[in-house]
Structure 1
Amino acid sequence: MKKKRKQRKKASTATILGFSFPLKKPKKNQSNSRKRKKKHPSKQSKKRLLEEKKKKRQRKKRLQLLKDLLLAIAGASLLIPLCASFFIHFSTITGYGMSPNLRNDDVVIVKKTKQLKRFDLVLFKKGNTTQVRRVIGLPGETIEYKEDHLYVDGLKVDEKFIVDEINESQQNGMNFTESFSIVDMISQQMIPKDKYLLLGDNRSYATDSRHYGLVDIQMIVGVVKMKILPLEEMQVYG
């Protein structure tokens, strides 16, 4: 036993020039374990890092979206009133001359334009007020109403927007639109340049071109494109 112990002691020492020095054991396990820890982080730490990166990306996206939204709102707040003043106009209907399609206190959006076509609803100035009426006759046309039928340049044209009213009136033995022609109105065969024949949809009640004459293009504000109030009757016009 004593010999074995001596051998162990000898193995743990080194002799140089007759002097004995203890040998240090290499700490292989510790250095290797540290290296392993650096090279191979735990699954939990990996997951935590990934979650943190994901949260950072999400925060950046939210901030960018918020910036874009604020810029859009700021731009819209400046552009909308400017565009509205040039391109659109809001108007409230007064009276019952356009019933049943438009009624008193309905609110409409009007596109400012001078390009008109037949059956457009147009807003125009009449003195200090405005009215909405429907375009029936265009410049250069001959217009005649005969036995509740519209004739443009001698050809019959249907007024689909008041079909029910025409049928009901005829069942009661009356015409919905009284007979007349451009010749009767202005003693000319055709509507003059830049003039328009405008009629109300409620023919027996409305005051329109039959009463105050043809309407000049300069008096027309634009074309009604949409009824927005009341909400339950919201409607878009072609």
Structure 2
Amino acid sequence: MEHTEKKPSKGKELMSWVWPIIIAVAIAFLCRQFLFAPVTVKGESMENTYHNNDRVIISKISKVERFDVIVFLAPDVEDHYIKRVIGMPGDTVKMVDDTLYVNDKKYEETYEADHVKEYKADGVNFTEDFTMQDITGEKVVPDGQYFVLGDNRQNSADSREYGFISKDSVDGVVVFKFWPWTSK
């Protein structure tokens, strides 16, 4: 007696391909919604750290720390901004002669070094002197809020203009740039 192997039906074979694809799409969707997302940088406000049309990945689950770069819903237009967190809840912030002070502690902004040198050579400050209270009317960053600045202070709409950013408006923390492959 001859033994014949039964061929799987075309429907079963098709489903063996469809289910893994559906599962992969669902996993990708869930990751993008709740864990990570790609974002395209718009404008010059974060130069020289990030440039117009750079593409970055944000983490939606990372805890926001001082000096993190975040993406958030803009408070003044229907768009998203990318800025650096300078003041955390309870902090005081001021800038004196291109030196940043948070809670009266001096911080060196290494990401600003090239800009500051360029402006100092011309005899002007890269960032105008300010105290957070002069700008926002608040002495300290309120609970649930952040004070943010763009790295390109001469071309950045940031907390100096529109005040604090709500924690609830933060989409995520930038974790890395994936395009272009080379740095500018």
TM band (smaller chain): 0.7 to 0.9
| Paired AA for residue 89 in structure 1 | A
Which whole-Å CA distance do the structure 1 matches of 2:181 and 2:102 have between them? 36
State the structure with more CA Rg: 1
List alignment gaps of at least 5 residues for structure 1: 1-69
Deviation of 1:113 after TM superposition, in Å, equals 3.3
Larger relative contact order (Cα-Cα within 8 Å, sequence gap ≥ 6): 2
Q: Is the Cα–Cα contact under 8 Å of residues 42 and 52 in structure 2 kept in the other structure?
A: yes
Match of 1:182 among 132, 142, 150: 132
Deviation of 1:107 after TM superposition, in Å, equals 0.9
Does residue 1:215 correspond to 2:153, yes or no? no
Which whole-Å CA distance do the structure 2 matches of 1:81 and 1:138 have between them? 31
Match of 1:198 among 148, 153, 165: 148
In the alignment, what sits opposite 2:181? 231
In the alignment, what sits opposite 1:111? 59
Q: Is the Cα–Cα contact under 8 Å of residues 38 and 58 in structure 2 kept in the other structure?
A: yes
Does residue 1:147 correspond to 2:93, yes or no? no
Match of 2:122 among 158, 172, 177: 172
Taking a change above 3 Å as real, the CA distance of residues 182 and 108 of structure 1, as seen in their structure-2 partners, is: same
Which whole-Å CA distance do the structure 1 matches of 2:32 and 2:157 have between them? 29
Deviation of 1:86 after TM superposition, in Å, equals 1.1
Which whole-Å CA distance do the structure 1 matches of 2:151 and 2:130 have between them? 16
In the alignment, what sits opposite 2:33? 85
Deviation of 1:149 after TM superposition, in Å, equals 0.2
Deviation track 1:70-118 (CA, whole Å, cap 9, x = no partner) reads: 8xx6554442332222111111111111111111111111111362111
Which whole-Å CA distance do the structure 2 matches of 1:77 and 1:221 have between them? 22
Which whole-Å CA distance do the structure 1 matches of 2:127 and 2:167 have between them? 24
Which whole-Å CA distance do the structure 2 matches of 1:116 and 1:98 have between them? 18
Match of 2:68 among 116, 120, 133: 120
Which whole-Å CA distance do the structure 2 matches of 1:116 and 1:171 have between them? 34
Which whole-Å CA distance do the structure 1 matches of 2:129 and 2:181 have between them? 37
Which whole-Å CA distance do the structure 2 matches of 1:231 and 1:77 have between them? 26
The percent identity for this pair of structures is 34
| Paired AA for residue 192 in structure 1 | P
Deviation track 1:27-51 (CA, whole Å, cap 9, x = no partner) reads: xxxxxxxxxxxxxxxxxxxxxxxxx
Deviation track 1:201-227 (CA, whole Å, cap 9, x = no partner) reads: 100111111111111111111101111
Which whole-Å CA distance do the structure 2 matches of 1:125 and 1:114 have between them? 17
| Paired AA for residue 89 in structure 2 | P
What is the Cα-based RMSD across aligned positions, in Å? 2.1
Aligned residue pair count: 165
Q: Is the Cα–Cα contact under 8 Å of residues 135 and 161 in structure 2 kept in the other structure?
A: no
